[in-house]
Amino acid sequence: MKLSQRMQTLQSMVSDEYDHIWDCCCDHGYLGLALLQQTQSAKVHFVDIVPQLTEKVRQTLEANHTAQRHRWHVECVDVAQLPLEGFAGRHLIIIAGVGGDLTLALIEQICQRHPQAELEFLLCPVHHLYMLRQALRRLKFGLIDEKLIEENRRFYEVLHLSRQQDTHRELSVVGDSMWSRAPLDIAKRYQATTIAHYQRLQRGHGEAMSTIIENYQNVML
């Protein structure tokens, strides 16, 4: 199964340095399967809350990846309840396809339940990026990498974050390196679209949106 551009971007940002990779992307396990082939030693956890989907993933793995049985695990569980305590080492948790508000809630719950775990997050939310960035900045998350992509005429920000801010860059509320690394036409259109979105919201929320609009206007392309 060929991965979408978003999933390919997520895959390209995963290195072979984790003990456990948690695929919480709700994409029928396709990203996790690709990462199982890409990495050499990490245990890949396939996560979904729908039993029928996890069972289908399990059947695929048992049919095609028996030689790697020690390197995969299927979890039918809410992402907020990931059983990290049962697996020692360094964790990468991949969350994609949900809004920024839910993404934030999941991250907060995971971190509260596992305050000592060595955690990194790879995120591709679909809405509310400013709010999410602002909240994660307050929570002292550090930026490892970020990318801006366009797929099917929609824009997506991909964020790779660490809970240890002191060893990584400070997270910007509007993004930093993603603007210069994206093709210029994509960066310009995303900036214009985002500013227009908050200008529409400004009619009902007044000054609350002014700072956000100004921050995006100040992005240098």
Note down pLDDT in tens along the chain; length 221 residues: 689 999 999 999 999 999 999 999 877 899 999 999 999 999 999 999 999 999 999 999 999 998 899 999 999 999 999 999 999 999 999 999 999 999 999 999 999 999 999 999 999 999 999 999 999 999 999 999 999 999 999 999 999 999 987 778 999 999 999 999 999 999 999 999 999 999 998 887 777 799 999 999 999 99
Same domain, 195 and 107: no
Q: What is the pLDDT of residue 164?
A: 80
Same domain, 124 and 211: no
Same domain, 208 and 111: no
Q: What is the pLDDT of residue 202?
A: 87
Alpha-carbon dihedral sign for residues 169, 198, 186, 214: negative
The half-sphere exposure of 175 on its side-chain side, counting CA atoms within 13 A, is 26
Same domain, 158 and 195: no
Same domain, 118 and 10: yes
Same domain, 84 and 57: yes
* 60 and 33 Cβ atoms separated by less than 8 Å: yes
Interatomic CA distance for residues 28 and 54, integer angstroms: 8
Amino acid present at 119: L
Q: What is the pLDDT of residue 220?
A: 95
- DSSP assignment, residue 79? G
Q: What is the pLDDT of residue 26?
A: 74
For the record, the structure tokens of 148 come out as 């801006």
Q: What is the pLDDT of residue 157?
A: 98
Interatomic CA distance for residues 58 and 73, integer angstroms: 8
Interatomic CA distance for residues 155 and 17, integer angstroms: 29
Same domain, 160 and 203: no
pTM score: 0.95
Farthest-apart Cα atoms in the chain, separation: 59
Same domain, 78 and 170: yes
* 135 and 111 Cβ atoms separated by less than 8 Å: no
Classify each residue of 6-31 as buried b or exposed e, where b means 16 or more C-beta atoms within 10 Å of its C-beta: bbebbbebbeeebebbbbbbbbbbbb
Tally of domains in the chain: 2
Q: What is the pLDDT of residue 205?
A: 73
Same domain, 126 and 167: yes
- DSSP assignment, residue 46? E
The CATH number of whichever domain residue 165 belongs to comes to 3.40.50.150
Same domain, 188 and 154: no
Q: What is the pLDDT of residue 208?
A: 79
* 106 and 95 Cβ atoms separated by less than 8 Å: yes
Same domain, 202 and 164: no
Domain hosting residue 202, numbered range? 183-221
Same domain, 202 and 166: no
